[in-house]
Amino acid sequence: MIVVQDLTKQYAGRTAVDHVSFQVEPGEIVGFLGPNGAGKSTTMRMLTGYIPPTSGRATVNGFDVYHQSIQVRRSVGYMPEMAPLYTDMRVKEYLRFRAELKGLSGSVLRHRVGEVMDMCAITDVRRRLIGNLSKGYRQRVALADALVHKPPLLILDEPTNGLDPVQIRQVRDLLRSLRPAHTILLSTHILQEVEAVCDRVLMIHQGRIRAVDTPDNLTRKLRAASLVQIEMQGDGDVIALLEALPGVRKATQDSELDGWRFISLRVEARHDVREALADLALIQKWKIRELHRQLPSLEDVFVDLAASEPGK
């Protein structure tokens, strides 16, 4: 559905997107993840034909984004982060207008407008002026606009921005229900959203793709450390002994109650120190009441990636 090869966008004195390459297969939901200024929105705008690339090539639904931009726009439902809605129009009026611009007419238009209003839960505000709606309702109107012509590809920039928790859950359910009829590329800063909805994640940092994988695989393969928590009793320099274990970055005593010490270990990725820790406790005659390993979340991976230097 999307094929990107060495896509680059340069502005005066700055490279916003630097030789980016990736693919999105039909029917996938792919999360586009990265810190502010990483190049997510710029990449999306190039894919939708809003801005031309400086170099490289991208195709959407088999059409070149530069040479066949009209065909690309017909294939895409695009929802920018700050959707430019006509605030002096009523919701239903606006969606009918947008559907006409996208080639719908007659009974097909009427049916589709009603369908997307139901899908996006905005039927109850269909007669209200967009300018009088909350930000959450405006987001849903923008999503309905992106869906109205049944595009094979949806490109959504922060689709749940401004929604309350119930509305966020509804949008997530909606996105999942659109597969496999629609392929979805969505940009978000909500890590739980990526883990809950997306099949794969593209992580971009400083204009370059740094990782492409499933959310689960990313947490296993990247550098983020795991956390081991211990509740124990023991004499001696416990912290120094724990930090001497292979793979332990840092040991920290969080608290102590009735002689039981609560200690946290930051452990390097791909290391499991629990067996070595148990052997050490046996040698040192420590008592261990609890030993728990917490694997890194996608948020840990994201923070670790954003803090690292490119290429490392």
In a domain, residue 278? The reply is yes
* β-pair partners for 60: 2, 63
In a domain, 305, yes or no: no
| Domain co-membership, 19 together with 130 | yes
Q: Are residues 38 and 184 in the same domain?
A: yes
φ, ψ of residue 163 in degrees (nearest 5): -90, 150
Same domain, 68 and 123: yes
Q: What CATH number is attached to the domain comprising 58?
A: 3.40.50.300
Backbone phi, psi, residue 168, to 5°: -60, -45
One domain for residues 192 and 229? no
Task: Kindly state whether residues 254 and 209 are assigned to the same domain.
Answer: no
Phi-psi region of 270 (alpha: psi -120 to 50; beta: other; left: phi over 0): left
Bridge partners, residue 153, by sequence: 76, 183
Pull the structure tokens for residue 182: 């629609």
Do both 192 and 240 map to the same domain?
no
Residue 312 lies in a domain: no
Residue 254 sits in the same domain as residue 177: no
Indicate the residue type of 158: E
Q: Kind of pairing, strands 153-157 and 55-60?
A: unpaired
The whole-number pLDDT of residue 312 equals: 42
* Structural domain for 16, as ranges: 2-220
Q: Order across the sheet with 153-157: list the strands.
A: 76-79, 153-157, 183-187, 29-33, 200-205, 208-213
**8 A C-beta contact, residue 127 and residue 101:** no
Domain end residue (candidates: 220, 254, 277): 220
225-237 residue pLDDT tens: 678 999 999 888 8
Neighbours of 79 (CB within 10 A): 22
192 part of a folded domain = yes
Confirm if 289 and 263 have CB atoms less than 8 A apart.
no
Among residues 205, 220, 235, the one where a domain terminates is: 220
Domain assignment of residue 74, yes or no: yes
Dihedral, CA of residue 273, residue 279, residue 285 and residue 289, to nearest 10? 50
Residue 308 lies in a domain: no
User: Which run of H or of E encompasses 213?
Assistant: strand 208-213
- Both 68 and 168 in one domain: the answer is yes
Q: What is the pTM of this model?
A: 0.74
Domain total in the chain: 2
Q: Collapse the DSSP code of 60 into the 3-class scheme (helix H, G, I; strand E, B; otherwise coil) and give the result.
A: strand
113 contacts 99 by C-beta, under 8 angstroms: yes
Tell me which residue of 178, 272, 291 sits closest to 232, measured CA to CA: 291
Give me the pLDDT at residue 311, please. 44
DSSP label at residue 90? B
User: Is the Cα dihedral 63, 65, 71, 75 positive or negative?
Assistant: positive
307 domain-assigned:
no
Tell me, yes or no, whether 125 lies in a domain: yes
Residues 94 and 177 in one domain: yes
- State phi, psi for 257 to the nearest 5 degrees: -145, 120
CATH number for the domain harbouring residue 269: 3.30.70.3190
Full pLDDT tens readout for the chain, 312 residues: 899 999 999 988 789 999 999 999 999 999 988 877 788 889 999 999 889 999 999 999 999 999 999 999 999 999 988 888 999 999 999 999 999 999 999 999 999 999 999 988 899 999 999 999 988 889 889 999 999 999 999 999 888 877 788 888 888 888 888 888 899 999 877 777 787 888 999 988 888 998 888 887 776 665 566 789 999 998 888 999 999 999 898 899 999 888 899 999 988 877 889 999 999 999 999 999 999 887 666 666 666 666 655 444
Q: Tell me the Cα Rg of the chain.
A: 25
Task: Look at residues 15, 2, 85 and name the one whose alpha carbon lies nearest to residue 48.
Answer: 2
Look at residues 204, 220, 236 and tell me which one is the last residue of a structural domain: 220
Residues 214 and 235 in one domain: no
Q: Looking at the structure, do residues 191 and 233 belong to the same domain, yes or no?
A: no
Same domain? 121 vs 171: yes
- Given the DSSP bridges, would you call strands 55-60 and 2-11 parallel, antiparallel or unpaired? antiparallel
Whole-number pLDDT of residue 236 = 82
